[in-house]
Amino acid sequence: MLQTWSGPHGGVPPFRDARVDQFSAAFETALAQAKADIETIADSPEPPTFENTIVALETAGKTLDRLEVLFDVHASNLNVGPIPDLEREISPKLAAHSDSITQNSKLFARIEKIHNDVFSDHSVKLKPDAERLLDETLKDFVRLGARLDDADKAKLSQINTRLARLFTDFNQNVLEEEKRHVTWINDEADLAGLSKSAIQSMSSAAKEKGGDAPYAITNTRSSMDPFLTYAENRELREQVWRNFYFRCDNDDQFDNKNIIREILHLRTTRAKLLGYPTHAHWRMESTMAAKPAAAMELMMQVWKPAIARVADEVADMQAIADAECDAAGKPHIQIEPWDYRYYAEKVRKQKYDLDMAEVKPYLQLGKMTDAMMYCADRLFGLKFEPISGLPTFHPDVTVYEVTRDGQHVGLFYLDPFAREGKRSGAWMTDYRAQSGVGISADEQGIPVQTSIVSNNSNFVAAAEGEPVLISWDDATTLFHEFGHALHGLSSQVKYPSQSGTNVARDFVEFPSQVLEHWLSTPEVLSQFAVHFETGKPMPAELLEKIERSSKFNSGFETVEYLACAILDMQLHQREAASIDISDFEKSQLAAIDMPSELPMRHRLPHFSHLFSSDAYSAGYYSYLWSDALTADAAEMFEQADGKYFDSEVAAKLYDHILSVGNTLDPAVTYRAFRGRDVNTDALLRKRGFPTGK
């Protein structure tokens, strides 16, 4: 597990050689090697230079990096058996190692000297990408405590080590709640309203879970969503809804509320130790938004029209529900969160003569996978060919070689299905970052290596021999994560830490969100949206209905997301050690007039974006910030002669966004692509909200 990767294309992850019982010992060795690498750089007798310090940091600890790839796959995709305990053991050690780098005073002194030579004395000249790498490295070290005294460094390291353990505990609790809570159904009559394919998937889930009932709804979004959308049994809808939305909020051993409070307290303590008023200010310093106030301003600009749209949507749904109750001679019901998806579909059918159940038979997972790869080829010249013989971590995984102009550019691993021990949701992972573009023959240290990336999803597998049919939302997610993959695969940079998706948090979602727009294009749907039984393409009139209803339910989609982002920002701008998490959630949602008919997309007790790492903490707003860029970019395509497949605009997207990584400020790269700064009115237009102009 510690060896340099062997095999084709510069080596591949040796998943078949991973031994769970050897991870602990392997990390001891890899951490020791990484520590030695850092000490060699810090203790060098040579005067500090960009090459012997910054470039050397880029290549230090590679044995540890390779081992982390193997372990992270187990933690995310195969989290069973001893893995949870191993994660609790290893995560704090990795946190301590990271602190040992940024707190190394000799190393930081070398970085400061080089930074002064370049930016103050101007005695050293670097190329623009090297200048940015140097500047970002210095800023990162400072943000992570390099200028603290020894006592405060020790406090900081204690905080980070404890946080690493808490993040692991939080994530393991979420996984356990998804395993434990299954809705078992004996009577097929309780499945009225569901499609044949959905029922077959529930049957397969029941067999996999090994229960006595013939049908099972697992506690994941891909299983919950179609049931809440189509099942006629209201009591069962409520049960499924409560199972899903009350994960880790049941005052039992898997409850996360106390963990959240401690995480929030430690984050506040850390921020103040580092000289920031709040965790949000610390996390956002390196983003496009820069400060919490800027993110809140954009969110509240969208929030008011979004909740107004929800009121309209609920009124339409309530009218249908009242009419149904009258026809059945039953008392009226009030639309509740477990009713929203169900009655929204009825409104869609009434307003647009569109039933999304009619669409699903045309959305086969295999065909949609072909569709996204078709877009990558036609837009950017990236070709995907499945290859066999490379080691994978599960039989579900397919590996593709990616080429451009006949040249190998990377490998793409696709892991689409839910399984026991796989974290919920969908995500992209880098197994190896691209690097080495533009190095000269006499340059040393920077490896020439191509990207290896993966997409991971939780689609529900169909019965044996049946095609996997996915919802429109699932297809959108498929394209979204593929956008992240393309960002990694298209990278053409020299330094690994500037590669691909290593960009500002509120910019990284832009390439993924913009790719979602290609799903609904006629070119894609007419070729790849073919009926799973007849093989016939989606009828033109159905395509037209989808287009006409494109802004339908935008209130629900915006509010369920934005409520999460607003509470995230509010939560991380205060000391929260003593707050009641449930009361905070209720009171803050009430304060912003959250409609009672729908919940946050992720309630705080299972909000893994915020509490399984620092990655999206005070950063969930980034999807909206990026979507402002996305909407503006989409209008550029829509106004082009070739629309979404316009070659000139696609080339600009590739040249100025996808390929440049973090070699330039994101605002500069967007301006180069669009020809101007972003126009945020496009965001409101995209969602069908008034712009005031």
- 178 CB-near residues (< 8 Å, 6+ apart): 218, 219, 220, 247, 424
CA distances for 70 relative to 395, 456, 562, 684, angstroms: 16, 15, 34, 42
DSSP 124-146: S---HHHHHHHHHHHHHHHHTTT
Question: Measuring CA to CA, which residue among 87, 88, 82, 60 is closest to residue 72?
Answer: 87
**481 noted as active-site residue:** yes
Q: Are 560 and 586 in contact (CB under 8 A)?
A: no
The C-alpha angle 206, 211, 216, rounded to 5 degrees, equals 35
Task: Tokens for 190, please give them.
Answer: 């309780």
Cβ contacts of 321-330, under 8 Å, gap ≥ 24: none
What are φ and ψ of residue 384, in 5° steps? -115, 125
- 76: which DSSP letter? H
The rounded distance, in Å, linking the Cα atoms of 323 and 3 is: 68
State the alpha helices, DSSP H only, in 277-427: 279-284, 292-328, 337-352, 356-359, 365-380
- 592: which DSSP letter? T
Cβ contacts of 248-253, under 8 Å, gap ≥ 24: 248/170, 248/173, 248/174, 248/177, 248/605, 248/606, 249/582, 249/603, 249/605, 249/606
Catalytic residue among 178, 481, 585, 597: 481
DSSP 234-253: HHHHHHHHHHHHTTT-SSST
DSSP 186-234: --GGGGTT--HHHHHHHHHHHHHHT-SSSEEE-SSHHHHHHHHHH---H
Q: What stretch of H or E contains 177?
A: helix 150-180
Task: Tokens for 166, please give them.
Answer: 């808490």
- 592 CB-near residues (< 8 Å, 6+ apart): 303, 563, 566
Query: Annotated catalytic sites, by residue?
Result: 481
